[in-house]
Structure 1
């Protein structure tokens, strides 16, 4: 157990070699009274903190920071953290990345485009023993699957998954790291391929076809 936290608090360790990302996450999470936060900039630094402070309730590791070597670093951190949840922070993982991360025992995958409020909720969720995987990563994004099941492209299928959640174009653009006009273009293309007039009809048609 991490020193200096109360029984009602969740201790969080965030490790990322991008200083700006790390600072933003730490600033927001530290403002929440139920969380205590410590940071590291490499896997070795994170493992040293765990050794010195004790296991953390939830640890978030950047997939591509120094020392990770893919899921090998994740496995080392899970062992060091005495079985407490360890999750991966990443930008845009491939389907293979997602599969390897989850098979290695990660508590979840958090995208770096995630809104801070969603990040906090994901931390609470994983600390409670649940596995967190963003909706867009649960969509089978392989080209073979897309060709067999839907007329939509990989990116259009991803945008459609956000339409199902009722998100406006601006929030979809932020989540995917794209410009809002690009999202509008994808929505128009989705409607055209599905033979509907608007996004609401697109969601209904997609559900009828079993695309989402």
Structure 2
């Protein structure tokens, strides 16, 4: 059986970017790589999740980090947690190694700077479609010592949580909503919201999704060392 070349292969991409000019640029780049590509646009993470809810049959998602309805990596985190089988490539104007490392740690299939030429962008997309993790040529992974430092800092932040906040965090990891947590703890939803806000502040994260993912990176030994009841 003869396989199709990239030029004739039919693929379907979801482009998530709130800037119409760059959406057009991405359209042009993906058509260089796959002339018969079908692209669907989304101008926000909320719109993208609606599109994916109606049809999850996409081969790749191209995501700008700076979206109007989320902060930081929240858009990437939502896409990865709700649609884990969908490869997501971050296409961003931010090219700092720390941002690239964090995007990859959250499951991005690649990171492409917006500053690259259209042909380089097309080549990067091809490489991801072939199963590679694409990063800029000048990118150097975060040193192992720095990664260990980040983990140690998170363990220290966990130690600042009160027993009740630890219980709330445990329930967040179980996927419970505020209403369900309030029922389990026999407190009001307002109290749960206050606990969640304080958890985010103490862990130095911007969303409950990021809190769950960051804590999940720690192994059981690290968690039990701080007597967190997970």
- With normalisation by structure 1, the TM-score equals 0.57
Q: Which residue of 1 aligns with 2:128?
A: 126
**CA–CA distance in 2 between the matches of 1:117 and 1:35?**
16
Report the CA distance between 1:34 and its aligned residue.
Answer: 4.2
Aligned match of 1:86 in 84, 88, 95? Answer: 88
User: Whose radius of gyration is greater, 1 or 2?
Assistant: 2
Report the CA distance between 1:74 and its aligned residue.
Answer: 0.6
Q: Which residue of 2 aligns with 1:199?
A: none
Aligned match of 2:50 in 48, 57, 60? Answer: 48
Aligned match of 1:97 in 73, 96, 99? Answer: 99
Q: Is this contact kept in 1: 2:67–2:75, CA < 8 A?
A: no
**CA–CA distance in 1 between the matches of 2:42 and 2:35?**
21
- Residues 49-82 of structure 1 show CA distances to partners (whole Å, capped at 9, x for unaligned) of 1111224111011011123322222121123334
Matches within 5 A, 1:190-201: none
Q: Which runs of 5+ in 2 are unaligned?
A: 1-7, 143-230
Matches within 5 A, 1:1-212: 8-30=9-31, 32-138=34-140
Q: Is this contact kept in 1: 2:28–2:118, CA < 8 A?
A: no
Q: Is this contact kept in 2: 1:55–1:80, CA < 8 A?
A: no
Greater length-normalized contact order (CA 8 Å, ≥ 6 residues apart):
2
**CA–CA distance in 1 between the matches of 2:36 and 2:129?**
12
Report the CA distance between 1:20 and its aligned residue.
Answer: 0.8
- With normalisation by structure 2, the TM-score equals 0.53
Residue 131 of structure 2 aligns to a residue in which SS?
A: coil
**How much is the aligned-residue C-alpha RMSD, in angstroms?**
2.4
1:35/1:138 CA distance change after superposition, 3 Å: farther
Q: Is this contact kept in 2: 1:12–1:59, CA < 8 A?
A: yes
| Count of residues paired in the alignment | 135
Report the CA distance between 1:94 and its aligned residue.
Answer: 2.3
1:95/1:48 CA distance change after superposition, 3 Å: same
Q: Is this contact kept in 2: 1:107–1:131, CA < 8 A?
A: yes
Report the CA distance between 1:139 and its aligned residue.
Answer: 7.5
Q: Which runs of 5+ in 1 are unaligned?
A: 1-6, 141-212
1:68/1:122 CA distance change after superposition, 3 Å: farther
